[in-house]
Amino acid sequence: MTVITCIEDLRQLARRRVPRMFYDYADSGAWTESTYRANQEDFQPIRLRQRVAVPMEPRSTRTTMVGQPVTMPVALAPTGLTGMQHADGEILAARAARRFGVPFTLSTMSICSIEDVAEHAGPGFWFQLYVMRDRDFVGRLIDRAKAAGCGALVLTLDLQILGQRHKDLKNGLSAPPKPTLANLLNLATKPRWCWGMLRTPRRQFGNIVGHVKGVDDMSSLSAWTQQQFDPTLNWRDVEWIKNRWGGKLILKGIMDPEDARLAVESGADALVVSNHGGRQLDGAESAIRALPRIVEAVGDRIEVHMDSGIRSGQDVLKAWALGARGTYIGRAFLWGLGAMGEAGVTKALEIIHKELELTMAFTGHTDIEKVDRSILIPGTFPTA
């Protein structure tokens, strides 16, 4: 593919270059994948008002997310196994995000460790936390993120138990990949990926292996993680985490107005309207449809962000117009990473920024801070 013009081009290239089990891990949802599909499809009916004979330059997409200046209201979402899409994937994505001027959020379930990424990330280095039963380990993770200079802690609330993802089950997903005949045959068709993995020592969960007693390799890690995601997570735990962290706290996984109000009461700095990319509760509504109700429920008492389904700069602008003051891209940057490494992540950001800037201009604006719901055609967008 010589000319890449959109995120879909990166997806197609990543599909050819990334082993099937890891490509499917990113490009899949739970059960029937109805929510996964709805996240993207529900952006399409939202129509934009085109304006003419208005100044279209100079244009600025600059704003802030939890007080941090950003080139555009987009952050790289926390995604597990990023370092299995491409060798050293978290490091490469963090470098691309730093140069572009947007935050990079490292997952608890990353391949590269907090300390690995901290050496390459800029001020927009955030850390995403899963709550485990082992609270001592959770506390140490928070302390490590603080020591690494992370500017925000993103606490994921919607993965107390794991959604059933059929593709992962059928592929026998693991890191490193299980040496089944099917997987070995597939790996043989991905020489670029294999060569990269041979050259890096980072092939396991760097935030966990070596940091938990008795977890020294991938086999012991598998048994540990199956027991550790904590189904008893509650708002008292959020308070404990907030006090232990002491910095900017973002709560990810809010889909209900009542939960949004509880997020406000928790004292968090921002919430993320998110259904985990359709990877948890299949049958939940799309994030873009839930967004207006959440915004109405909280007003200006907390900063509202959104993820799940964003594939273009137009999606970013529509989410902004409906009240999101930040968005996150997961699959879009993963496809860039799998397709072309660091350059692919940069390309994904360039594509989204260009689409955002041009669409903003066509709707009659040159400053994203002045964009509101008036750019949307009434009756085509979800309301509270």
* Residue 233 identity (one-letter amino acid): L
Residue 107 assigned to a binding site: yes
How far apart are alpha carbons 264 and 299 in whole angstroms? 10
Active-site residue, from 86, 276, 305, 353: 276
Residue 78 assigned to a binding site: yes
Asked if 276 is an active-site residue, the reply is yes
Residue 311 assigned to a binding site: yes
Residue 156 assigned to a binding site: yes
Q: Which of 364, 382, 279, 270 is nearest to 326 (CA)?
A: 270
Give the list of residues 6+ apart from residue 13 with CB closer than 8 angstroms, or none. 1, 4, 335, 338, 339, 340, 344
Residue 252 assigned to a binding site: yes
- Helices 7-17, 342-362: crossing angle, 10 deg rounding: 160
Residue 307 assigned to a binding site: yes
Q: Are 264 and 294 in contact (CB under 8 A)?
A: no
Cis peptide before 378 (omega within 30 of 0): no
- Helices 287-298, 257-265: crossing angle, 10 deg rounding: 50
Residue 219 assigned to a binding site: no
Report residue 82 as tokens: 């990023």
Residue 80 assigned to a binding site: yes
Residue 301 assigned to a binding site: no
Q: Are 21 and 365 in contact (CB under 8 A)?
A: no
Return the residue matching tokens 């890449």. Answer: 4
Residue 165 assigned to a binding site: yes
Residue 274 assigned to a binding site: yes
Report residue 112 as tokens: 């590269």
Residue 166 assigned to a binding site: no
Q: Which of 284, 330, 278, 307 is nearest to 30 (CA)?
A: 278
Residue 310 assigned to a binding site: yes
Burial of 15 (0-12, 13-18, 19+ CB in 10 A): middle
Residue 330 assigned to a binding site: yes
Could you list the residues known to form a binding site, using ranges: 25, 78-80, 107, 128, 130, 156, 165, 252, 274, 276, 279, 307-311, 330-331
Could you list the residues known to form a binding site for glyoxylate, using ranges: 25, 165, 276, 279
Could you list the residues known to form a binding site for FMN, using ranges: 78-80, 107, 128, 130, 156, 252, 274, 307-311, 330-331
Just list the catalytic residues.
276
